Chain A
Amino acid sequence: MNTFFANGLFANVDWPEIWQASLDTLLMLGGSFVFTVLLGLPLGVLLFLTSKRQLLAQPVVYGVLSFIANIIRSVPFVILLIVLIPVTELIVGTSLGVAGAIPPLVIGATPFFARLVETALREVDQGIVEATQAMGATTTQIVLRALLPEAKPGLIASCTVTAITLISYTAMSGLIGGGGLGDLAIRYGYQRYQSDVMAVTVVLLVIVVQVLQMLGDRLVIHFSRK
């Protein structure tokens, strides 16, 4: 059994492998984040607009969207990963590696992000929507020129939370062969009791999360005018 000090500090750590795993994690994060935002932002806007007393109030549409989002959000991500394997194979041709990890990450995080977007839009003063409407704006103009810019700090905070959630999801996707730091932590740290590998991967994950949070907070402050 290996421990921290048996053969010197970090004896089990294969640094090139750590490097590769870090890159994989960042790739999974970047790829899934981009698609999550691309899908989740419009979905969140739609949720907001179709909700009660909003511009396109559509109780049925809202009800259906809301129900689907809640279902996906209430399934534990690990289960979602496994259930989605056939879907993933259909989309990217494999359920392994970085490419195989991205579809379940996106499907898991999109409803989460959409809900955060909906909430951020709800924070915008209704009076601003009304004033913009009174100027003769179209619904598209109201969304693009008033709602989204006014919600910017809230939307950035939503992006930060989502990115950090994605990091922890990528760690889980290691379970089904997704690769990345989480995969290393499980295969070496957990299954082979190599605590040093575990420690290094966890520290790296913590650093990524800290950096993301700091970046997000900075941006929020930069764009806040209140």
Chain B
Amino acid sequence: MITFKHIHKAYRVGGSDIPALQGIDFEIQAGEIFGIIGHSGAGKSTLVRLINLLERPTSGQVLIDNVDITALDAEGVRLQRQRIGMIFQHFNLLSSKTVAQNVAFPLELAGVANKHQIRKRVAALLARVGLTDHADKYPAQLSGGQKQRVGIARALATEPKILLCDEATSALDPQTTQSVLQLLADINRELGLTIVIITHEMDVVRRIADRVAVLDAGRVAEIGPVAEVFLHPKHATTRRFVLEDEHVDEGEERDDFAHVPGRIVRLTFTGDSTYEPLLGAVARATGIDFSILAGRIDRIKDTPYGQLTVAFTGGDVPAALAQLAGRGLAVEEVRA
């Protein structure tokens, strides 16, 4: 649905070109929630802003439903933008308008003249985001989470096919983040909306994204289903995100493991195997001993997973590893 083709983007600053994106090629499917994660300055905002042409690529094309939007004229760009909603880190609501007026704004800009129709649509949107009682307040009178809900209602006003979220939860506390993400996930399901969400927080991607691209210095370091990318990170940047998220210091961990005897492996359980008593069963069958060095049980979107770092000693370790792999676990050697 959204295709980036050979995208390069450089910003001209004081006579020299600062590269922001250096060869982006991938596709976002219709109806999915696609996460783009990267550290500050990686080029996330630039990339997402190409989709509604708030930025233009230096070279390359952006296709939406197979139409090259970089070739559209000004009027075409405007119409295209009306079909794409966007929400922002700092909400960007008009402070001089009430909640209801903010939500009505894109409809007015798009030339919807029927006041009754606008009122009905605004009421439905406010009900959907749970702000019916706040319709006549000004943004300054709302909490951060409420402001972002107004932002979401406003972004959905013109019934877009795509919703872009630029660090939409970065200014919110964890609990509010959770409820805003839940709202986005619900909307994605109900409306079949394609959502592109950019963030520097892995938690956001893990909670709602279907697929993720890890952006590093203007390039896609890794891309794929969230579970695959985060449970088996290949690129150094991805690994860093995972470790940061688990509050693990790689150096410290290596030092700690140095004192542990035996073979150290990382076991990843996903889906139903997460809750099965596999480790104990295999240990009994192969006569090994194990000690758990680190681990977590969590969910990626709707899929439960567990990831344990385990040291095996005694017994038949290769047989144990083979059995575990045979039961659908991913087995990665940390130290032989």
**Chain A residues engaging chain B, CB cutoff 8 angstroms:** 125, 127-128, 130-138, 141, 145-146, 149-150, 152, 223, 225-226
Contacts and interface: CB of A to CB of B under 8 A. Distances in A.
A145 B109 contact: yes
Contacts of A150: 94-96
Contact of B140 (A125, A132, A137, A226): A226
B97 interface: yes
A133 B53 CA distance: 10
Given A136-B81, A226-B140, A141 B109 contact: yes
A226 B260 CA distance: 59
Q: Report, nearest first, the 8 A-B pairs whose CB atoms are least far apart.
A: A136-B81, A131-B92, A136-B82, A127-B92, A135-B106, A136-B78, A225-B138, A134-B86
B28 interface: no
B108 interface: yes
Contacts of A136: 77-82, 106, 109-110
Given A149-B97, A226-B140, A130 B54 contact: yes
23 contacts: A125-B90, A125-B92, A128-B92, A128-B94, A128-B95, A130-B54, A130-B88, A130-B92, A131-B93, A132-B105, A134-B52, A134-B54, A134-B81, A135-B82, A135-B106, A136-B77, A136-B110, A137-B78, A145-B108, A146-B94, A150-B95, A150-B96, A225-B140
Nearest to A133: B54
A127 B88 contact: yes
Contacts of B92: 125, 127-128, 130-131
Contacts of B139: 225
Contacts of A152: 96
Contacts of B106: 135-136
Contact of B96 (A132, A141, A149): A149
Nearest to A131: B92
Given A132-B94, A136-B79, 12 more contacts: A125-B90, A130-B92, A131-B86, A135-B105, A135-B110, A136-B80, A136-B106, A149-B97, A150-B94, A150-B96, A225-B95, A225-B96
B94 to A, nearest CB: 6
B59 to A, nearest CB: 22
A149 B94 contact: yes
A223 B93 CA distance: 16
A149 B98 CA distance: 12
Interface residues of B, number: 27
Interface string B122-161: 0000000000000000111000000000000000001000
A20 B81 CA distance: 59
A138 B86 CA distance: 17
Interface in B53-111: 54, 77-82, 84, 86, 88, 90, 92-97, 105-106, 108-110
A204 B276 CA distance: 90
A149 B95 CA distance: 9
A96 to B, nearest CB: 44
Which of A131, A141, A149, A150 has most B Cβ within 10 Å? A131
A134 B82 CA distance: 8
Nearest to A138: B78
Nearest to B75: A138
Most B-side CB within 10 Å, residue of A125, A133, A136, A152: A136
B152 to A, nearest CB: 13
Nearest to B89: A127
Q: For A128, A134, A137, A226, which residue has the most chain B Cβ atoms within 10 angstroms? A: A134
A131 B105 CA distance: 11
B97 A135 contact: no
A142 to B, nearest CB: 9
Which of B77, B80, B105, B139 has the most chain A CB within a 10 Å cutoff?
A: B105
